[in-house]
Every structure is written in C-alpha cells, then in structure tokens.
C-alpha cells in the first residue's frame, strides 16, 4: 500500500471515529418503549425525536460507469446555510438493498449528505451463496472497486451543498467465511 493510500485509510478511520460516535450509539443502543431492541431501521429512524421531522431529498444517481448510487440529504430551508459533511456509504455483502438505503436515510436525518455506493452494478443478493459470489467478483477486481469509490468521493465533492473538507466513509461486513450471515 502506498503512503497516500495508507494515509487515506487512516484518515477515513479517524474521521469515522470523530464524526460518527453519536450515530453509532444511536444505531446500537436505541430501544423502544418496551425496552426491546428495534430491529427495523425505519422504526429506529422514527424513534429519534427531532430527526423524524427532518425532510429528506433522495434520488438514484449515476456516479461511476454502470454504478448507480443512492443519494440522500436533508432539505435545508436556510438560504445562507453552511455546507454539510458527506459520507460515502459502502454496502454490506448483500449489495445496495433497502436496508442500506434505510441506513443512509437515518444518517442523512442527522445532517449528512450520504451517497450509498454500488459495488455490484445493480445486483442485490438474496441468499448467502449469491452474496459470496458477488463479493468474490469485487475481490477479483479491487482496482475497479477503488476507482468506483474514488468516483463517489469526486461526485459528492462536486455537490454545492457539500463541505469538501468533511467527507468520510462508512461500511459494513463484506462477507468473510459467512461472518455476515446474520442479516
């Protein structure tokens, strides 16, 4: 790994630790009125108080070759509002499914521009074997995945509402020996 690549990786990890602690606690620790963990992300996003009042704008965007990502951000009413931080969201081994879009919505309600990327060119797995095959296709062509993610950063950097100095990434398990089989 080059010095630039290592520096970028360290930057993303540290940025995630600084920017997302309240988000991580929100996702891991939310309970409903009966103290049972909320398993549905949509229900979780509706249980956060003020965040439910945030209007979101979302769309499917072409940001790299055949890849279409899910872009979501809070609608802002202020004319002179400051620019927002952005997050490049990397899907888990299932692909860019509704669960990942719900997670992007939840994060956007907290004040972020989120681009959920697609490393599978529109394919979404429905069983572990299919997910494993899709993961292997990405691992076999890592340069393409890296180029895809760099294009995502370039895309969100071009948006007029994004603070280009505040772009981070977040992701989930990408399938190693069925460790992601919990979904």
Nearest alpha carbon to residue 113 among 63, 57, 60: 57
Residue 176, pLDDT score: 58
Query: What are the C-alpha distances in Å from 79 to residues 75, 83, 161?
Result: 11, 11, 11
Q: Is 122:165 a contact under the CB 8 Å cutoff? A: no
| pLDDT tens readout for residues 95-144 | 999 999 999 999 999 999 999 999 999 999 999 999 999 999 999 999 99
Strand 67-74, strand 56-64: pairing = antiparallel
**Which pTM does this prediction carry?**
0.71
Nearest alpha carbon to residue 88 among 167, 23, 174: 167
């Amino acid at each position: 790994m080059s010095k630039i690549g290592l520096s970028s990786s360290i930057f993303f990890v540290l940025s995630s630790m600084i920017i997302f602690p309240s988000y991580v606690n929100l996702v891991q620790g939310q309970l409903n009125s009966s103290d049972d963990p909320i398993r549905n992300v949509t229900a979780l996003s509706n249980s956060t108080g003020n965040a439910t009042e945030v209007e979101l704008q979302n769309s499917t965007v072409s940001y790299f070759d055949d890849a279409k990502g899910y872009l979501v951000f809070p609608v802002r009413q202020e004319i002179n509002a400051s620019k927002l931080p952005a997050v490049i969201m990397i899907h888990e081994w299932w692909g860019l499914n509704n669960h990942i879009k719900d997670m992007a919505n939840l994060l956007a309600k907290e004040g972020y521009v989120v681009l959920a990327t697609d490393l599978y060119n529109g394919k979404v797995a429905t069983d572990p074997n299919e997910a494993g095959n899709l993961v292997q296709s990405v691992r076999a062509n890592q340069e393409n995945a890296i180029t895809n993610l760099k294009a995502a950063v370039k895309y969100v950097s071009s948006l007029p509402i994004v603070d280009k100095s505040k772009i981070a990434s977040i992701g989930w398990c990408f399938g190693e020996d069925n460790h992601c089989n919990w979904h």
